[in-house]
Structure 1
Amino acid sequence: MKTDSQVRIIAVACSALLISTSFSLADEGVSGGNDLSGMIEQEVSSFELSGYGPDGKREWQLKGESADISSDEVWLKSITANSYGENQDFTLEAASGIYDKKGKMIHLDDGVKAVTSDGTRIETTSCDWNSDTHQLHTPNEVAITTTGISTTGKGALIRPEDKSFSLKEDVIVKLEDGAVVITCDGSLELDYEKGIARFTENVCIDDESGQLIADKVDVVLDAHTKKMQQAVATGNVRVKDGKNWISAERAIYETETKKMTLTGRPRLIYYPSEEDKKKVR
């Protein structure tokens, strides 16, 4: 975390005479210009706030159509924000939000939309944005769409710099335009740059070849197309083969060859058809 970054605020007051005031805030307090911490509250009609790194490079920018300023927080409406990272940038939009000047946290509310420079789209009702780490966090439901991957779930930590994210529960992932659907009751950790995903708790994979259920599944995706290349399932593995099920402790599924390798006491659970029952009689 950068401790010597600066925040610059430009506010325009709504009065008969428009007043432009500039502040420079350091982490340890206010330096230069007017002493903003001494103000109890100020209303402005437009607001722009930028954060700069120790090298003087702008790392983020926050704009709002109107704002209420107190000693510790800035309440904003009609927010547009930009984050400038080393690996990629992203833009945020929200109807309202609060900037915590001490904690460097920005809470966005009333419908949040984000788009990264690689085209990933994020939508949720509200989230917290850490301007130092460029990370987004929300306890709410979130929809994340990137090339070849559509994901929904609840409780997200999104790391645009690492091109990865995690979800806590109620996860649904659709690959290949919905041809492959993966769900789980537990968490998902997905690195879409490397093409690696880990699903936990009652994981279920559905595709045209059948269904796989397990306690944990690691999925390898093609780096470019994001199609599933391999799935490694462990713990209470069950594979549906037609009307029958095969159980095991571990399974490896290769999508290109459609080959399934099961280890750890594999067992076939056979459900005879009506014709098979007649033959037995």
Structure 2
Amino acid sequence: MSGFAETWLALREPADQRARDPGLMRRALEWVRDAQGTATLVDLGCGAGATLAAFDEASPANAQVCHWRLIDDDPALLGAAMERASGLGAKAEPCRVDLSDVADIPLDGARLVTASALFDLASRDFVAALVDRLAKEGTALYAVLNYDGSTTFSPAHSLDGIVVAGFNRHQLRPKGLGSGASLGPAAARALAEALQARGYDVMLADSPWQLEGRDRELAIAHIEGVAAAVAELGVLDAAELDDWRKMRIANCADGRATVGHLDLLAIPG
């Protein structure tokens, strides 16, 4: 599983980095720099360290005023993230933690909690429990690349709408972050509402993937994943779905796809 996760994260990282909203990134960096002394940043589901790398690219001097607490349940990914941090000269510590239990997440002293492509996997009760802890700690949240349910392709196929709707339905299946259904495409706005209710100043910004020829491998992996998810639901004839999959893959080199995401920055009021 670790090998698959590392491959997928490496495939998506260039598209993720292009998609991040630069305005919210700047605001997050300002919040970090305003700390008295060294700021502790907690990265939930850190993967191979893409968020740390994005902060370093946006502001290399940031490494001198930050201490990263890298959290993941995958030891291989944690090792990759720590190796990356070392290469960037960033101060970091690895924390192997199962995120499903919010009470176990080490948030003490954190100035900012970060997460990338995480909250669409979470349930409403996970969000409520995490927001409660953030509010008690007075910690800001920078959560990016939350899938918002919108996907468009060019050239078009007659089944695009049905396939995307089926995929969005599949996204609601429980993923282990909290009990019950995952928030899926509703995650960013549900998170924003929960934070606003606790007095946070919440900002949302679009951060869509714009996939074209240079992203062919990622586009193929995305299409295969969407098709596999829809196949599990049985909402389309298998042959029709396979025709859609083959047409989409055949157009990855010359076509385009836009996959909608939302970035969120929440600052304590």
- Shorter-chain TM band: under 0.3
Higher strand share: 1
Where relative contact order (Cα < 8 A, 6+ residues apart) is larger, the structure is: 2
> Quick check: which has more Rg, 1 or 2?
1
Normalising by structure 2, what TM-score?
Answer: 0.23
